[in-house]
Homo-oligomer: A and B are copies of this chain.
Amino acid sequence: MTFPSDSAQLLDATVDALAAVRETGPLVHCITNDVVVNFTANALLAVGAAPAMVDVPGEAGMFAGIAGGLLVNLGTPHGEQREAIEEAARSAAEAGTPWVLDPVAIGALPIRTELAGRLREIGPTIVRGNASEVLALAGAGAGGRGVDALDDVDAAAQVAAELAGSTGGIVAVSGPVDLITDGTRVVRVANGDPLLTKMTGGGCALGAVMAAFAATGDDRLATTAAAVAVYTVAAEIAAEQASGPGSFAVAFLDALSSVGADDLRQRAALS
């Protein structure tokens, strides 16, 4: 059901997508959780995008219609934010704004699980999560314990492809090797560093970066894989300079702002 991807072509697309983000500075509308909202804004700025955190009902809908991309992250879904999320997702779908759904900890927790089910029906351009979240969104999950992955990426591959088929979008499953699929093709990215999981927001901010990259072109599989590759290559560069999770987070933002075509060509493990 899956076809081998051309690594060289994916790498070229990644280099081009990064250049496009830096040239155009896409406006990324984020509705995300309280824990990672600062880091997410800083990650977007570092990579070259323009973050705007607009999560008030009455503003979120109109803003999703003019933004380059939208991130919806369910990490701390307060009542007012839930209302803003539905408003923004519907507006994005109508306006053609690409939007990312990160269904944090669904399966384990009821309020967000119910919301995620409704959002799935709107058709997210990209779903990003760990294996347990993707399984839960597909209705096949065993629940989760928050932002940690309890299920295996490979175990989720088939379910991810089916989910992508049903949403008509991309599904990205994070793990030691990230998997991105449009339901037919599969791309794997074998970069990153364990320190990404020792700082909060390592996964959540990637969702925002995917929205930034989605704003640059219509080949969603390629731009999503590009976002993952840029992000995880930056993590590798940062890890080489880090003494622990605190210095890693700092070095990671530096690396996101300086990572270039040469780094990608030397390091990106796209297949």
The residue that A27 contacts in the complex, of B110, B146, B247, B251, with Cβ under 8 A, is B146
The residue that A244 contacts in the complex, of B36, B46, B244, with Cβ under 8 A, is B46
Cβ contact within 8 Å between A45 and B199: yes
Cβ contact within 8 Å between A27 and B145: yes
The residue that A35 contacts in the complex, of B41, B75, B147, B198, with Cβ under 8 A, is B41
With A109-B63, A257-B245 in contact, is A35–B53 under 8 Å at CB? yes
Report B-chain residues with C-beta under 8 Å of the C-beta of A244: 46, 253-258
Mark the stretch among A2-10, A77-85, A170-178, A225-233 that contacts chain B. A77-85
> A: which residues have CB within 8 A of B?
27, 33-39, 41-42, 45-46, 50-56, 58-59, 62-63, 75-80, 105, 108-112, 145-148, 198-201, 242-247, 249-258
- Closest B residue to A252 by CB, please name it: B246
Report B-chain residues with C-beta under 8 Å of the C-beta of A250: 246-247, 249-250
Bound-complex Cα distance A145 to B80 (A)? 22
- Closest B residue to A25 by CB, please name it: B148
Selected A-B contacts with CB under 8 Å, 21 pairs? A38-B200, A38-B201, A41-B200, A45-B198, A46-B198, A46-B244, A51-B146, A56-B77, A56-B78, A56-B112, A62-B109, A62-B110, A242-B254, A243-B258, A245-B254, A245-B257, A246-B250, A246-B251, A246-B254, A249-B253, A250-B250
Cβ contact within 8 Å between A42 and B77: no
With A54-B109, A77-B56, A244-B253 in contact, is A38–B36 under 8 Å at CB? yes
